[in-house]
């Protein structure tokens, strides 16, 4: 785990996209001034599969490409009209929540295409967000994770959430062709990624709180908030087609019950500390019930078909450790009640009406870099879209959209800490 002795992040059920290569911008062949755009794009694609890439390198590569891409997006002639370069190229991306042709690196091969540079911005940004989740996963899976690395995991997940949030609120609404329902840019899917990234960032906070032995009430409140995040993400996907969402939803459901077990367990400790032993026992009984349900969902999840790789959370140390912790805490409460308190155990579980005051993970604000200094009105005026378009036979043949092979990175320690 990120922090020794605490519950780790679990592998995401979706693994939405294994980084894909897309058509190079044809305008880069038509206008030599755009050669930097092609170069910076190629470098960014390389960074997705470079195991030595870190957050600083990724930000540099992303800013370099997006600053040039904005030459196709922002108005450079002082008017409110669209940039005349925006619609010059048809962009194709592979969806992973649709289709039925799995391969080792592409979950599905259904294509989405739009002749819109905003579609390129959205699709590439999505891959950048996923890179941050994978980077967090890689750090979390190390044998010994330092405090600084744990902070990087937490920060990367918040950055990913911020990018997803920006896509949903700012960039996807700009598409001329709306995002298709049931596809990867469907607002419901984007929402689920925002919420899940926040939830998994909070898992790092919970791990930290447990490791440093913070007050049980703080852990209980954080666990309750995190469980609610997973439930919200699950409800966000409930209107998607089952073949696209069932596996993902099973994952979210098991995480909900797992953190409900944590919340009731630590709430029970708080109640015992306040000499409310009967209520503490009932809270621990509810924790035991939630944990058992999480175990059942782990089995269902592993046998559910759908897009995404499959984690084995029920075999991980953090999962097994919680089961033992719940059992031992319940037995302790029962012993204390038999010797000291003699309280009646309520029929109804205690209410978890707790709002965490600390540790809640908010998406990190995300803004595109300013347009590159080459994006000037003078340069923009030199582009003539009528040149080279008369002879259709001279148009180059479209390239096949090829998958970019993602490195097979195995965690040094089998913690299940794979986010995406």
- 326: which 2 tokens? 């719940």
E-strand ranges in 31-158 read: 91-95, 110-114
Which residue from 285, 280, 253 is spatially nearest to 269, judged by alpha carbons?
A: 280
SS3 content of the chain, % helix, strand, coil (to 5): 55, 5, 40
DSSP 109-134: -EEEEES-HHHHHHHHHHHHHHHHHH
330 in Cβ contact with 288 (< 8 Å): yes
Per-residue pLDDT of the chain (420 residues; tens, 9 = 90+): 332 233 333 333 333 333 343 333 334 333 445 688 889 999 999 999 999 999 999 999 999 999 999 988 888 766 767 888 898 888 888 876 654 333 232 333 467 889 999 999 999 999 999 999 999 989 988 878 899 999 999 999 999 999 999 999 999 999 998 988 888 899 999 999 999 999 999 999 999 999 999 999 999 999 999 999 999 999 999 999 888 889 999 999 999 999 999 999 999 999 999 999 999 999 999 999 999 999 999 999 998 988 777 777 777 777 889 999 999 999 999 999 999 999 999 999 999 877 777 778 999 999 999 988 877 776 666 666 665 444 544 455 555 556 566 665 555 554 444 445
Class of domain 219-352: mainly alpha
Distance CA 220, CA 209 (A): 10
pTM exceeds 0.75 = yes
First to last CA, the chain: 16
- 204: which 2 tokens? 């790092």
Which residue from 229, 235, 286 is spatially nearest to 263, judged by alpha carbons?
A: 286
Distance CA 347, CA 361 (A): 35
Cα dihedral 231→235→241→244 (10° resolution): -30
Distance CA 17, CA 34 (A): 28
How far CA 182 is from CA of 95, 188, 240, 241, in Å, comes to: 10, 8, 6, 7
Residues of the chain with CATH 1.25.40.280: 1-214+370-383, 219-352
Residue 350 DSSP one-character state: P
Distance CA 328, CA 337 (A): 14
How far CA 20 is from CA of 159, 207, 214, 323, 383, in Å, comes to: 21, 34, 43, 40, 30
DSSP 228-258: HHHHHHHHHTTTS-HHHHHHHHHHHHHHHHH
253 in Cβ contact with 228 (< 8 Å): no
Q: Give the CATH superfamily of 1-214+370-383.
A: alix/aip1 like domains (1.25.40.280)
* pLDDT for res 271: 96
């Amino acid at each position: 785990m990120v922090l020794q002795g605490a519950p780790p992040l679990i592998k995401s059920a979706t693994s939405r996209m294994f980084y894909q290569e897309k058509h190079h911008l044809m305008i880069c062949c038509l206008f030599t001034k755009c050669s930097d755009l092609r170069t910076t794009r190629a470098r960014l694609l390389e960074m997705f599969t470079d195991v030595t890439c870190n957050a600083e390198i990724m930000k540099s590569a992303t800013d370099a490409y997006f600053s040039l891409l904005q030459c196709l997006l922002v108005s450079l002639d002082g008017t409110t009209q669209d940039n005349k370069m925006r619609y010059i190229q048809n962009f194709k991306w592979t969806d992973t929540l649709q289709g039925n042709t799995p391969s080792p690196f592409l979950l599905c091969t259904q294509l989405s295409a739009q002749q819109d540079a905003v579609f390129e911005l959205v699709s590439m940004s999505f891959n950048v967000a996923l890179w941050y989740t994978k980077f967090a996963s890689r750090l979390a899976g190390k044998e010994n994770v330092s405090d600084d690395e744990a902070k990087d995991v937490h920060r990367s997940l918040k950055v990913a959430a911020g990018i997803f949030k920006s896509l949903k609120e700012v960039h996807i609404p700009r598409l001329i062709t709306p995002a298709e329902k049931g596809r990867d840019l469907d607002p419901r899917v984007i929402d689920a990624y925002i919420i899940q990234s926040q939830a998994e960032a909070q898992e790092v906070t919970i791990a930290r709180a447990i490791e440093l032995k913070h007050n049980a009430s703080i852990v209980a409140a954080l666990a309750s908030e995190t469980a609610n995040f997973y439930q919200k993400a699950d409800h966000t996907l409930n209107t998607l087609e089952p073949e696209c969402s069932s596996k993902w939803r099973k994952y979210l459901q098991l995480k909900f019950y797992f953190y409900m077990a944590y919340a009731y367990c630590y709430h029970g400790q708080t109640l015992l500390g306040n000499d409310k032993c009967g209520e503490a026992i009932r809270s621990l009984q509810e924790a035991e019930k939630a944990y058992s349900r999480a175990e059942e969902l782990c089995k269902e999840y592993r046998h559910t078909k759908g897009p995404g790789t499959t984690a084995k959370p029920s075999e991980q140390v953090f999962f097994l450790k919680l089961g033992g912790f719940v059992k031992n805490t319940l037995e302790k409460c029962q012993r204390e009640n038999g010797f000291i308190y003699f309280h009646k155990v309520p029929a109804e579980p205690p209410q978890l009406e707790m709002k965490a005051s600390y540790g809640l993970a908010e998406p990190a604000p995300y803004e595109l870099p300013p347009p590159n200094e080459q994006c000037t009105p003078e340069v923009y005026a030199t582009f003539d879209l009528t040149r080279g378009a008369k002879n259709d036979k001279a148009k180059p043949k479209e390239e096949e959209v090829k998958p970019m092979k993602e490195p097979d990175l195995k965690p040094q320690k089998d913690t299940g800490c794979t986010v995406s």
